[in-house]
Structure 1
Amino acid sequence: MGSTGQDQDEPTVGQLVANASRDLSSLVRSEIELGKAELKKTAVAAGTGAGMFGGAAFLGLLAIILLSIAAAYGVSALGIHPALAFVIVAVLYLVIAAVLVLVGKNQLGKAKGPQRAIETSKESVEALRAIGKGD
């Protein structure tokens, strides 16, 4: 044994700290790589899902157009001139759109920002300023 009371095979504190730092750095890099791989897989799945929703929305729009034409011809079958039947269906859609706009506007009027979060943020800023001033 040496005069320091330490066996020559045992690492020094400095070596242990360096090893721990290196291992931690390696662990962080590995976690970042894992995160990147997971995000890439998630992004591909999200992109595929968004594409499917886009296709479904397009087909839904086509169906609405065809159903609108069918509704207009249905009204026309009641003996109303076809041009007037299409106008009736269009006016019906405009009334529905107006109701949706009014309901949406009412809901937006009720929406407020995150009041509690804003207040607590202001309080945190004031507390940090007080600490910075040494109060």
Structure 2
Amino acid sequence: MSAPDSADRSLGQLVATAADEMSSLMHDEIALAKAQLRHDVKRGAVSGGAGAVAAAVLIFSLPMLSFALAYGIQSWSGWHISVCFLLSFAASVLVAGLLGLIAMVFAKKAKNGKGPQKTVASAKETAAVLGHVKPHPRAEIPDLTRFPALNERGGETAPAVARSSS
């Protein structure tokens, strides 16, 4: 048995098909929003990772770098060791600041991600369009009593056929 033509389908079948299509569309919109959220979460993870690396570099390298740099500056310039330690500290703070700026750039990119907002706007637009849809007008069925030539039984009226909406 073949599938019925869209002209032969009842109003209920058409409504059911439209509801299924709308449900499918909404599921696809939700899947798209999830994919875009995953992308934004990855950006946030990179930002958090860069911030953690900046903190780790500052914490673990300060003692070693400070001593090495201070003694290196002192042997190169002949300045007092306290001035050399201050310069070493300033260099460590500069490196940490640079890594912190990298973390801020990635955090702004993650915050400004417009992924789910675009999907929500698209879903609202679809719902607004479907909310203003009016049903297609049905063609009038001719009254066979007024046209006996069209009546198959030659003057008798054909029994009325009720159409189901389900």
TM-score by length of 2: 0.33
Structure number with bigger Rg:
2
Structure with the larger helix share: 1
